Amino acid sequence: MPQIPLIIITYRDVFQWVANQRRVEHLPSVRISESDLNELGIADGDRVKFSNAAGSIVVQAKLDQDCRRGFGYMPISPYSNRLVSYDGSRARLPNFKRIEVLAQAYCDETG
Amino acid sequence: MRSRYSVGLSNAVCTGCSCLCDDIEIELEGNSIARIKNACIKGASFFYAADAWQWRAPYLIGKREVTGEQAIERAAELLKQSRHPLIFGFDNSTIEAQASAIELARILGAVIDDCSSFCQGELVLHILNGTLPTCPLSEVKDTDLIIYWGANPYHSHPRHLSKFSYYAHERYQEAGWIPKVTLVSIEVRETETTLLSRPSLKILPGEDGKLIGSILSTIRGQEEGEEAKTIVDLMKNAQFCVIFVGLGLTYALDGDFSLFAEMIRELGKWTRIGVIPMVGHFNMRGFNHLLFQKTGYINKVSFADGTSYGPGFSLLEQLRNHLPDCLLIAGTDPFSSLPGHLIDNLKDVTIISLDPFITSTTKASAVVFGTAVSGLEAGGRAVRMDGTEVPMLPVREGRLSDEQILKLLLERVSR
C-alpha cells in the first residue's frame, strides 16, 4: 500500500465541542485533497492510518476540494494529540497544530 | 444565592469561553434548566451539560464515592506527603479560586502553572509588560480595520463577531456592501471567517513568521510579496486597527511574539493598533493577571525555594522530566489535551482533580472533587480575553465551588 507524507493542520470545531458536551461518540475524521485520496488509493469516507514517531491513529478520510495537496485538516482532539510530540529543548510549544505524518490506507485485518 | 426552587429568567455570565457573554438569560424549572436565551451553541451546550447529572463528577477517593469532608482529608494528606507537588489549571475557575490556588502553592512550596504556558501566555505577557498595545472590546466599535489572524471565531468564540466585533460595529451595514469597516483574515485554510473577509489572505501553514518578516521588509521599502504589501497598505490607510490573535498564529510562531511585537511597533507609527488574544478558557487571563500581580510572572512559577520562574516549571517540562509526584488539577483535562507521550508520564503521578464533569483525568485521579459550574452554580470574578474584569453571580444552588474546596484544603494543609 502506498504511503504518502501529509501535514495535519488541526483546528477548533464547535460541533465537536457540542458532541463532547453531549457525550456523543464520533469517528475522528480528516479532510484531504482529491489527489491525496487518489494517491492513497482510497475513496471519500474510507479509513486512513496516520503514523509518526509519537504514535499512530486511524481516522475517516473525507474529500475536501479546498484542501491543498499534502495537507490534512482535522479537528483537534485526543486522537490528533496522539500524534503530537513535545521536546522542550527543540521548541517552546508542542506541535498541536502542524503534525507531520505518513498516511496509508487502512485495512481492518479483523474484518 | 437564589432559592433552590426559583422559577423564571435569571441573568448569567457564560463561562463557555473567554467572551464571558454577560447577557445570558437562564430559565429554571425547579433546579433544572428549562431554557437558555442569547447563548451561542457552545455556551448553551455547556450549560445544558451541567444538568446531565450522570456526567457530573461526585466526590471520590479512588473509585469509592465519599463525602466532601473525607475527600478534603485525603487530598490534604496527599499534598502534605508530596515531595514535589504541582498545581495546574484553574483557567476555568474564578479569580477568587485562583487566589486560593496560588496561596496553596506557596504554603506547599509547589510549582504552579496553567494552560497559558503552552498557548497564549507569551502574548498576554507582552500585553501586561506593555510591549504590545491592546484595547478593550468596547473600543472595537471605533476601529476601521479588524484583523483575525489564525483565528476562526465562528467555531472558537461563536458570538465574537456579533457581540464584539464586525456585526456589532457601529459602521457595519447589513444592506449592501459598504465597507466602512474592513474585515481581514490571515489564515491557512478556508473558513467561515475567511469567506466573510475582504481581503482574506491565505498563507502556507507555519509561514506566519515569514509573512511578518515580509511586512517588516515592506515597511523598510523592500518589495516582499503581495500579502505583505496588502497589510501595509491597509494599515497606512486605517485610523485604528484591532488584531485578534488566534492559536494558529501562536503555534506558527512557537509562542515567540518578539518579531510580531516589532512589526506592531513599526505599523503603529501609521495607525493606532490594539492586540487582543483569542483566549479559549474563560479565565485564563485572570490566572495570568493574578499571578503576575503576586509574583511578577504569569505562569511557570515555583515556590519551592522562595519564588522562582523558568521554562522548567511548565507542566510540560515537569512531566517530560518525571518531576511531580502529586498533581492538583482544576478545570482542565490533561489526559485529553496533552501530547500522548506526556500522558504516559502522568501515569505514575498521584492526581487530585477538581472538575464539574467526569473526564479522562478524573477517571485517573486518586481524589476527585465534583465542583460547581462557574457562572451557573458559583459566582466570583473573571477576566475576559481583553483584560476586562467581569463579575458573575450564580443562578442556582450547586455543589461546593473550586474556591470553597481550595479554602478548605488551605485550612487543612496549614494545620
Comparing CB atoms, the residue among A73, A85, A98 nearest residue B339 is A85
Q: B342 at the A interface (CB within 8 A)?
A: yes
**Residue B5's pLDDT is what?**
41
Question: Looking at beta carbons, which residues of chain B come within 8 Å of A73?
Answer: 189
**pLDDT digit string, tens, across residues A58-108:** 999 999 999 999 999 999 999 999 999 999 999 999 999 999 999 999 987
**Residue A17's pLDDT is what?**
86
Q: Would you give the DSSP letter of residue B155?
A: H
Comparing CB atoms, the residue among A55, A82, A93 nearest residue B118 is A93
- How many beta-carbon pairs below 8 A join chains A and B? 101
> CB A95 to CB B46 under 8 A?
no
The residue whose grid cell reads 521599502 is B221
**pLDDT digit string, tens, across residues B250-297:** 999 999 999 999 999 999 999 999 999 999 999 999 999 999 999 999
Q: CA B206 from chain center: how many Å?
A: 23
B351: left (phi over 0), alpha (psi -120 to 50) or beta: beta
**pLDDT digit string, tens, across residues B293-348:** 999 999 999 999 999 999 999 999 999 999 999 999 999 999 999 999 999 999 89
Q: B292 at the A interface (CB within 8 A)?
A: no
Q: Is residue A16 predicted with pLDDT exceeding 90?
A: no
β pairing state of B85-89 and B326-330: parallel
Average pLDDT on B207-230 reads 94
Q: A69 at the B interface (CB within 8 A)?
A: no
The residue whose grid cell reads 462557574 is B374
Of the candidates B352, B372, B409, the one whose C-alpha atom is nearest the C-alpha of residue B69 is: B409
Of the candidates B27, B57, B23, the one whose C-alpha atom is nearest the C-alpha of residue B40 is: B23
> CB B156 to CB A67 under 8 A?
no
Q: Is residue B94 predicted with pLDDT exceeding 60?
A: yes
pLDDT band for position A111 (50/70/90)? very low
Q: Is residue B4 predicted with pLDDT exceeding 70?
A: no
Distance CA B301, CA B296 (A): 10
Probe site for chain B from A8, A9, A12 (most B CB atoms < 10 A) = A12
> CB A97 to CB B248 under 8 A?
yes
The three cell numbers of residue A8 are 495535519
Mean pLDDT of chain B: 94
Comparing CB atoms, the residue among B52, B251, B360 nearest residue A93 is B251
Comparing CB atoms, the residue among A22, A73, A78 nearest residue B45 is A22
pTM equals: 0.95
Q: Is residue B2 predicted with pLDDT exceeding 80?
A: no
**Residue B176's pLDDT is what?**
54
Distance CA A72, CA A95 (A): 15
Instruction: Give me the residues paired with residue B275 across strands.
Output: B243
Q: Would you give the DSSP letter of residue B34?
A: E
Q: CA B124 from chain center: how many Å?
A: 11
pLDDT band for position B178 (50/70/90)? low
Average pLDDT on B177-205 reads 90
Q: B252 at the A interface (CB within 8 A)?
A: yes
Longest distance between any two alpha carbons in chain B, whole Å: 69
Question: Looking at beta carbons, which residues of chain B come within 8 Å of A57?
Answer: none
Probe site for chain A from B14, B47, B188 (most A CB atoms < 10 A) = B188
Closest chain B residue by Cα to residue A67: B189
Of the candidates B282, B285, B287, the one whose C-alpha atom is nearest the C-alpha of residue B101 is: B287
What is the nearest CA distance from A73 to chain B, expressed in angstroms?
9
Closest chain B residue by Cα to residue A69: B204
Q: B256 at the A interface (CB within 8 A)?
A: yes
ipTM (interface pTM): 0.93
Q: A107 at the B interface (CB within 8 A)?
A: no
Comparing CB atoms, the residue among B42, B152, B316 nearest residue A11 is B152
Contact B300, B309 (CB under 8 A): yes
Of the candidates A74, B189, A107, B248, the one whose C-alpha atom is nearest the C-alpha of residue A83 is: A74
Q: Which of residues 11 through 30 in chain A touch B, CB cutoff 8 A?
A: 11-14, 17-18, 21-23
